Amino acid sequence: MRAFQLAATGSQPDFAEIPLPPPGPGELRVQIAACGLNFADLLMIDGKYQDIPALPFTMGMELAGTVTEIGAGVTGFAPGDRVACFAGQGGLAPEGNFAAHRCLRLPGTMDFVTAAAFQIAYGTSHLALDHKARLQPGETLFVTGAAGGVGLTAVEIGKRMGARVIASARGAEKLAVARAAGADVLIDSESPDLRGQLKALGGIDVMYDSVGGPAFMEALRATRPEGRLLAIGFAGGDVPQVPANLLLVKNLSVMGLYWGGYLTFRPDVLTASLATLAQWIAEGSLHPHVSQTFPLEQAADALACLKARRSTGKVVVTMG
């Protein structure tokens, strides 16, 4: 089959003809309908991601499709099941074999594009805000990059959890997207004196930061005592260096969140989180935002769109 592969870090991925063996023990063969793209895909290409599969590999970390074959020892799935899968790789192809424990049966109301878009972005935000930061109703949540793939989900989930949400993004168009997702207060990321603006709003209890750079440090100084700061990613390229004396004086906590790591040491936490999210989406309390879809043949263009930050919410590649 024809798959979109990365042959070497630092090079550009391209299509290659590869074989597809039968599913092994514990695996499902999935006919892929859609694959969600992530900032981590760009980091893999540059060789900068913390968990890069052995080269060469087919790109695409999260996908959705239909089970066509069952490997030995698999229970709970049958051919014809509609599933979402956090595979880590293999999504940018017509088919693939994936570990059954990484697959989740879809509610009947969820389409494949939505299913391919929600796992990593919504999963990251829910795990960060619920399991790590213990966000409480009535608290103030500040989200950077609030119109991006994960930031937008943090706005929506934070609002679903009862928080007052302050959203930061660049420009009126992106801020409007954050407002539509439930943000209560909007701050243009290019406006001056972020610290002063946040303090004028009463300060913050939880910061969800996927950008890094100066915004993290300014928000740190506007965080209330016992506040929690979540380091989700560094899309801006700058990794903040946190002064520990400020943490001590204000009793602050800084926490990192690598969502995929939970597959190794606490898969039960991750699975429970995804099940909660699927239920919320099926109930209509969350609305995954996909700004653009591309056919598989335009996978390179889809990644370029993500890299140029032309998207709001998720970019999804479809196979049909």
What is the model's pLDDT at position 119? 92
CATH 3.40.50.2300 for the 2-106+289-318 domain, yes or no? no
Output phi, psi for 250, to 5 deg.
-105, 5
Q: Hey, is 282 helix, strand or coil?
A: helix
Q: Hey, is 20 helix, strand or coil?
A: coil
In this prediction, residue 136 has a pLDDT band, given cuts at 50, 70 and 90, of very high
In this prediction, residue 232 has a pLDDT band, given cuts at 50, 70 and 90, of very high
Output phi, psi for 2, to 5 deg.
-95, 120
C-alpha to C-alpha distance for 181 and 218, rounded to whole angstroms:
24
On whether the pTM is more than 0.95, the answer is: no
142, two tokens: 């500040």
Alpha helices in 225-295, H assignment, sequence order: 244-250, 262-265, 267-283
**Domain parsing of the chain, residue ranges:** 2-106+289-318, 124-260
What is the model's pLDDT at position 311? 77
Indicate the angle between helix axes 112-126 and 151-160, nearest 10 degrees: 70
pLDDT for 17 beyond 80: yes
Question: What is the per-residue pLDDT across 291-312, written as a single tens digit (0 to 9) for each?
Answer: 899 999 999 999 999 998 877 7
What is the model's pLDDT at position 265? 87
Q: Hey, is 52 helix, strand or coil?
A: coil
Length of the chain: 320
What's the mean pLDDT in 39-55?
A: 92
Question: What is the per-residue pLDDT across 76-110, written as a single tens digit (0 to 9) for each?
Answer: 999 999 999 999 999 999 999 999 989 999 988 89
In this prediction, residue 204 has a pLDDT band, given cuts at 50, 70 and 90, of very high
pLDDT for 206 beyond 80: yes
The two beta strands, 314-318 and 290-295, are parallel
Output phi, psi for 139, to 5 deg.
-75, 165
What does DSSP assign to residue 260?
Answer: G
Question: What is the per-residue pLDDT across 245-263, written as a single tens digit (0 to 9) for each?
Answer: 999 999 999 999 999 889 8
Architecture of domain 124-260: 3-Layer(aba) Sandwich (3.40)
Q: Are 4 and 296 in contact (CB under 8 A)?
A: yes
What's the mean pLDDT in 101-120?
A: 91
* 77-to-123, 209, 236, 264 alpha-carbon distances in Å: 22, 37, 41, 22
Question: What is the per-residue pLDDT across 58-77, written as a single tens digit (0 to 9) for each?
Answer: 999 999 999 999 999 999 99
What is the model's pLDDT at position 108? 86
What is the model's pLDDT at position 238? 85
* 124-to-7, 28, 40, 233, 307 alpha-carbon distances in Å: 28, 24, 12, 11, 20
Share above pLDDT 70 across residues of the chain, in percent, rounded to a whole number: 100
Most confident of the following: 60-69, 116-125, 241-250, 271-280: 60-69
pLDDT for 229 beyond 90: yes
Count helices and strands (H / E) in the chain.
Answer: 10, 16
C-alpha to C-alpha distance for 32 and 125, rounded to whole angstroms:
25
